[in-house]
Amino acid sequence: PSRLLDMGSTDYPHLRITDEGIGTAQYATLSHCWGNHMPLKLLTSNIEAMKMEVDAEGLAPNFRDAVTVCRHLDLRYLWVDSLCIVQDSAEDWLHESSRMHSVYSNAVLNICATAEDPNGLFTQREHSHVSTGPIPLHWSPLNRRAWVLQERLLSQRNLHFGKKQLFWECQQHTACELTPEEFVGGGLPPDRLLDSFAIWNMVVSTYSSCGLTFETDKLIAVSALARHCQTQLGLEGDYLAGLWSKYLGNQLLWETHPYLHGKRQKTYRAPTWSWASM
């Protein structure tokens, strides 16, 4: 990443944004839903001040709790989009969004604010009722966001802070506190079990059911996943507005869900032959 939130050392636990000497340092990322109000974010007007110090009290509760998690895991650095991308600079946003693939795939851990609780990651556990069975992580408030889908699939490991318990998700194992040795459903696709074309079809299907804050972000939000499928999974052909030239004949057969009345946006975002136009 170009910038990281430096949480300091044990002797000097201050917060600051750093873009110097990051090198190969281990870091975590945070997946979260943007609320109506973001207390503190990186701007052209405060970037120099935030390089000196970030006021922890000015951070959103999820951010403060993510810092706590990182410190307990002995991770000094954390990447958060609103703190590491200059929010009022279109140039910086476009530059950094094109690097999302490397940001999330190189992180040691992705911390997921899955419950979307305004009070933070740490919630009171519910002990009065215990049940077993599949837990659909795909349909949690956080995972219904399109940007978060790519963050979740690109990350090596995801630690979900749910409303009642923690969930772990990686390509080897998916578990929760209730069933630490069992699969809970809705995990990451193991690369070794699916070919790249099947993975891409799954990504498009899941992604299309997710929501976006800004509809014009539709192709931008999935671009990092396209790059990942091409470079890491060997998906062949040219990338054409959400489709692949090698499989174009099959992929042009897409259709909208019969119960969802899809319609094209007034603002152009993709050619009409692409699913991304809907």
Q: Are residues 64 and 101 in the same domain?
A: yes
For position 139, what pLDDT does the model report? 43
**Phi, psi at 72, each rounded to 5°:** -70, -25
> Is there a single domain that holds both residue 108 and residue 47?
yes
Among 65-74, 99-108, 204-213, the minimum mean pLDDT is found in 204-213
Q: How does residue 78 score in pLDDT terms, banded at 50, 70 and 90? A: very high
Number of domains making up the chain: 2
Question: What pLDDT digit, counting tens, does each position of 128-138 carry?
Answer: 665 555 555 44
Same domain, 37 and 166: yes
| Virtual torsion, Cα 151, 154, 156, 161, nearest 10 deg | 20
Q: Taking 70 as the threshold, does the pLDDT of residue 217 lie above it?
A: no
Amino acid at position 36, single letter: N
Do both 95 and 207 map to the same domain? no
Residues 8 and 125 in one domain: yes
Residues 16 and 141 placed together within one structural domain of the fold: yes
Lowest mean pLDDT among 105-109, 177-181, 236-240: 177-181
Statement to judge: residues 271 and 133 lie in one domain: no
Q: Are residues 49 and 160 in the same domain?
A: yes
- Residue bearing the bigger pLDDT, 221 or 30: 30
Domain span including residue 200: 196-277
Last residue of one domain, picked from the residues 176, 207, 229: 176
Which of 25-34, 164-173, 174-183 has the least mean pLDDT? Answer: 174-183
Q: Report the pLDDT averaged over residues 18-27.
A: 81
Same-domain status, 200 and 172: no
Q: Which residue has the higher pLDDT, 122 or 22?
A: 122
Statement: residue 191 has pLDDT above 60: no
Taking residues 95-105, report their average pLDDT.
Answer: 80
Model confidence band, residue 13 (pLDDT cutoffs 50, 70, 90): low
